Amino acid sequence: MDNDRSRQQVGAGVHGGAHGRARVRAASLAIDSRAVGWLHVIDDVMRRWDWLPTCTLWASLLIVLAQALDRRPPLELLRVYPAEARAGEVVTIYAEVLRDSSRHCEVDVYRSLHDARGKTWDYPHAHFSTEAFAMTESSTPGRMAPTFVLPATAAPGPAGITTSLRYRCNKTHALWPIMLTHTLPLTVLP
C-alpha cells in the first residue's frame, strides 16, 4: 500500500494530478475564449467590409472588358505611291500613314508578295517592340517606306505586297490582337 501511495504522490508531482489538469484546462479555455473573441472581432470587421471584394472583382472585370473592347487600329494607311522594280531588285514602297503615337503598341508583321501570275512568296516575320513603334513615328512622322527584294522569278506586271499586322496595345490583345491587313501595289518591270 505504501508503494501505491508513493506512486500516486510521484504521479501527482509529475502530472499535477487532477488539480494540475484542471489548471491546464482552465488556461486552455482562457486562451480559447480570447481567440474566439478575436475571431468575433475579425468576423465583425469582415462583415462590415464584405462588399469590398465584390466591388474589386467587378472593377477588375470592367477594366478587362474595356481593354478587350479597344479595337481601334493604331495605324491607318492614308495613301500609297506607285512603285516599280525589276525581278531580283530592291523596291521601296512609299506611303502616308497616320500612327497613334499616344498608344503603346507592339506589332508582329507578316508580308507576302503576289505577282501577276498569282504566285506567292512569303517574307520573314518581323516583330516591332513598343519602343520601335514609337521610334518609327518620331523618325519618319506620317510616312512609311518598307523596302523589299523582289524574287528573281517574279512575273512582270501588276503585283502587290500584302501586309498583315497584329497589334498588341494592352494585355487582352495577347489573346485577341488588333488585326490589320492591307496590300501595297507595285509593278514588276520586264
Task: Report d(CA 83, CA 113) in Å as an integer.
Answer: 13
Structural fold of domain 75-189: Immunoglobulin-like (2.60.40)
Within a 10 A sphere around the Cβ of 85, how many other Cβ atoms?
Answer: 19
Task: Report d(CA 96, CA 148) in Å as an integer.
Answer: 18
For every one of its 190 residues, what pLDDT tens digit does the chain have, with 9 covering 90 and above? Answer: 455 554 454 444 445 566 666 666 655 656 677 777 888 888 888 888 888 888 999 999 999 999 999 999 999 999 999 999 999 999 999 999 999 989 999 999 999 999 999 999 999 999 999 999 889 888 999 999 999 999 999 999 999 999 999 999 999 999 999 999 999 999 999 9
pLDDT given for residue 36 in this prediction: 76
pTM for this one? 0.71
HSE-up of 155 (CA within 13 Å, CB side)? 11
